[in-house]
């Protein structure tokens, strides 16, 4: 699932969280599992200048990067941290780790050959889903469309409940991102067809 989707959906699932520190904690927790991937991409693309094909077929599967990504998607580790923070009364920190868990649970059904080891250090098991949030060979387009509708629906539900500008602004920005991406993809596919029809008319 795309990182912005995790943010909106996590805020909806934890909709009783409306104070600014809690909203920021949930937002940060929704993003945190993907941080190693952002660092990885900045390194291989910005510094090593690798081509896209090599990035996602070779570099991404390097053991170091896989270990970093898998550890940040570990449900047992995040659960232990959330429990510890809860016991100590550190509520924003507990919400941060709970949001990380929700992120990983959201990833489980939509990752195919890029699935993470969500159960480290207890198990090396990877759940290989028949669905992918991006790969057309595994219903990526259909999953992406459902994901976009889910984000839109949870945004409508969440926006009036978030009583601060940070949370509401985040909801607006994520939806702008999705509709811009959808519009760009749609036009990129349709415009060549329109031009061909015009030439043939």
Per-residue pLDDT of the chain (201 residues; tens, 9 = 90+): 888 899 999 988 987 766 778 888 999 999 999 999 999 999 999 999 999 889 988 999 999 999 999 999 999 999 999 999 999 999 999 999 999 999 999 999 999 999 999 999 999 999 999 999 989 999 998 998 899 889 889 988 888 887 777 778 888 888 888 777 766 665 665 555 544 544 455
Question: How large a percentage of the chain has pLDDT more than 90?
Answer: 57
Ramachandran angles phi, psi of 129, nearest 5°: -80, 150
What's the pLDDT at 195?
A: 46
Q: How many domains does the chain have?
A: 1
Q: How many Cβ atoms from other residues are within 10 Å of residue 77's Cβ? A: 18
Identify each DSSP E strand in 62-181 by its residue range.
none
Domain limits for position 193? 3-200
Cα separation, 113 vs 128, in Å, equals 6
What's the pLDDT at 192?
A: 53
pTM summary value: 0.86
């Amino acid at each position: 699932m795309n990182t912005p989707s995790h943010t909106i959906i996590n805020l909806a699932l934890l909709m009783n969280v409306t104070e600014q520190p809690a909203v920021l904690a949930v937002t940060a927790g929704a993003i945190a599992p993907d941080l190693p991937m952002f660092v990885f991409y900045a390194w291989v693309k910005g510094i090593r200048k690798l081509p896209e094909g090599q990035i996602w077929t070779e570099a991404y599967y390097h053991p170091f990067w896989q270990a970093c990504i898998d550890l940040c998607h570990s449900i047992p580790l995040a659960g232990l941290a959330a429990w510890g923070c809860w016991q100590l009364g550190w509520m924003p920190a507990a919400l941060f780790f709970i949001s990380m868990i929700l992120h990983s649970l959201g990833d489980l059904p939509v990752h195919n050959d890029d699935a993470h080891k969500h159960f480290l250090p207890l198990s090396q098991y990877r759940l290989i889903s028949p669905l992918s949030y991006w790969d057309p060979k595994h219903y990526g387009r259909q999953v992406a469309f459902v994901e976009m509708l889910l984000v839109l629906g949870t945004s409508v539900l969440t926006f009036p409940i978030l009583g601060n500008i940070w949370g509401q602004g985040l909801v607006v920005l994520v939806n702008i991102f999705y509709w811009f991406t959808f519009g760009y993809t749609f036009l990129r596919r349709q415009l060549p067809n329109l031009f061909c029809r015009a030439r043939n008319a």
